[in-house]
């Protein structure tokens, strides 16, 4: 029976070291009150037997799994995979592991988190959850009721009653707008977005405020955040009677779509039209022309979220909620021209 390997337990170690299994526990958990001699003996025995602590057993008894769950729409988009990356790095440092799960199944466009998803995770006794997905108000209430340590990242919760870490879209777009105005642009169009989303309202508000402050007329056109949306909007802009010297994409991919379509119509970026993106995905760096954009503060978002989650885990009874709004940095590149 090749797979029937004997499992080494604390008891085996205890026997070899000639102590009780409690002493082994104390040594392994780094508790202070063990004599140096005993400690050494135990450690040696562990080594000799190649003892491996069973975290599942420890988790059952102590109700601490040292695991956190992360739910994001998909691993395939750069922003999400970068967030996940920083979260995991940080969790690793704190000796937590992450259970990563994607919201979207390939066959369905379900964008909202379902309770069963949370339930599966709670069955596994995760110590906390980081959430980057859309919540119905009912879900939010249920989550609050359950009082599991939880932080929303990159998205507002509908009732604003959960800990939340988001980018400052408003000032991000306001800074981008200011950059264009400083470069002499007056007719600047905001392209894309999805009505009803808080992130979009904030973005639009940042743009509009800056335009109005400078006596300019804000114009928003089209919807969406994808490459294809950018293509479609470019078509509209070219065939409609818009007059503009610059277009601000709601995302980097909208910007890329805009630029490629403009070029297909013989319009060069930035010599004929200036274009900006939003997010700071790697394509903005490698694209030709390199695209001026605002960098999502991935590192800070993720670190803040993990920190807050750890705080919640350590203080389950604290009730006050936090919302952190992380500044966004403009990255000046080649897709904007000085008029």
* Site of interaction with DNA (CB under 7 A): 7, 9-10, 19-23, 25-26, 28-29, 32-35, 37-38, 51-54, 57-58, 60-62
Beta strands 150-153 and 246-249, pairing class: unpaired
List all residues 6 or more positions away from 122 whose beta carbon is below 8 Å from its beta carbon.
Answer: 146, 148
**Least spacing, CB of residue 86 vs a copy of itself, in Å:** 9
Cβ distance to a copy of itself smaller for residue 88 or 202:
88
Do 103 and 155 contact (CB within 8 A), yes or no?
no
Look at residues 178, 179, 207, 168 and name the one whose alpha carbon lies nearest to residue 191. 207
Q: Is 137 in the site for a copy of itself (CB under 8 A)?
A: no
Cβ distance to DNA smaller for residue 16 or 336:
16
Provide the CA 203 distance to its chain's centre, in angstroms: 18
Out of 32, 56, 109, 195, which residue is the one contacting a copy of itself (CB under 8 A)? 56
Within 273-312, the residues that bind a copy of itself by CB under 8 A are 282-283, 286-288
- Reading the block at residue 320, the tokens are 């006050």
Cβ distance to a copy of itself smaller for residue 220 or 335:
335
**Least spacing, CB of residue 65 vs a copy of itself, in Å:** 7
Please report the beta strands in the chain, taking only residues with DSSP state E, as ranges in sequence order: 67-72, 97-102, 128-131, 150-153, 163-167, 188-191, 219-221, 246-249, 274-276, 293-295, 323-326, 329-331
**Least spacing, CB of residue 65 vs DNA, in Å:** 11
Please report the beta strands in 7-149, taking only residues with DSSP state E, as ranges in sequence order: 67-72, 97-102, 128-131
Number of residues that bind a copy of itself (CB under 8 A): 55
| First-residue to last-residue Cα distance in the chain | 79
Q: Is 263 in the site for a copy of itself (CB under 8 A)?
A: yes
Out of 34, 43, 49, 99, which residue is the one contacting a copy of itself (CB under 8 A)? 99
Do 298 and 86 contact (CB within 8 A), yes or no?
yes
Cβ distance to a copy of itself smaller for residue 81 or 175:
81
Please state, in angstroms and rounded to a whole number, the distance separating the CA atoms of residues 323 and 99: 24
**Chain residues in the site for a copy of itself (CB under 8 A):** 1-3, 5, 52-57, 59-60, 65, 67, 74-76, 78, 81-82, 84-85, 88-89, 92, 97-102, 105-106, 119-125, 147, 227, 253, 256, 259-260, 263, 282-283, 286-288, 316-317, 319
């Amino acid at each position: 029976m090749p797979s029937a390997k004997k499992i080494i337990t604390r008891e085996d170690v205890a026997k070899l070291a000639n102590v009780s299994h409690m002493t082994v526990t104390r040594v392994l958990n780094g508790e202070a009150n063990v004599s140096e001699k005993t400690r050494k003996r135990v450690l040696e025995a562990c080594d000799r037997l190649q003892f491996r602590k069973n975290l599942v057993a420890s988790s059952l008894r102590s109700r601490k799994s040292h695991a956190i769950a992360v739910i994001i729409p998909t691993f395939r988009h750069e922003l999400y995979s970068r967030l996940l990356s920083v979260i995991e790095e940080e969790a690793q440092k704190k000796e937590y592991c992450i259970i990563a799960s994607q919201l979207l199944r390939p066959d369905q466009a379900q964008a909202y988190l379902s309770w069963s998803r949370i339930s599966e995770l709670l069955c596994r006794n995760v110590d906390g959850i980081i959430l980057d997905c859309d919540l119905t108000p009912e879900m939010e209430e249920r989550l609050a009721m359950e009082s599991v340590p939880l932080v929303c990242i990159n998205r507002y919760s509908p009732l604003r009653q959960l800990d939340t870490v988001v980018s400052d879209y408003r000032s991000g777009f306001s800074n981008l707008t200011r950059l264009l105005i400083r470069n002499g642009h007056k007719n600047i169009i905001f392209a894309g977005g999805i009505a009803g989303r808080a992130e979009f309202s904030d973005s639009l508000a940042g743009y509009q405020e800056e335009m109005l402050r400078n006596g300019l007329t804000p114009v928003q056109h089209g919807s969406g955040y994808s490459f294809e949306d950018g293509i479609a909007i470019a078509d509209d802009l070219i065939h409609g009677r818009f007059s503009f010297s610059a277009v601000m994409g709601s995302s980097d991919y909208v910007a890329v779509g805009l630029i490629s379509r403009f070029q297909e119509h013989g319009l060069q970026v930035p010599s004929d039209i200036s274009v900006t993106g939003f997010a700071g995905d790697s394509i903005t760096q490698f694209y030709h022309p390199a695209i001026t954009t605002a960098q999502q503060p991935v590192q800070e978002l993720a670190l803040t979220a993990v920190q807050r989650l750890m705080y919640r885990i350590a203080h389950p009874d604290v009730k006050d909620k936090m919302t952190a709004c992380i500044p966004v940095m403009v990255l000046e590149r080649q897709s904007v021209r000085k008029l």
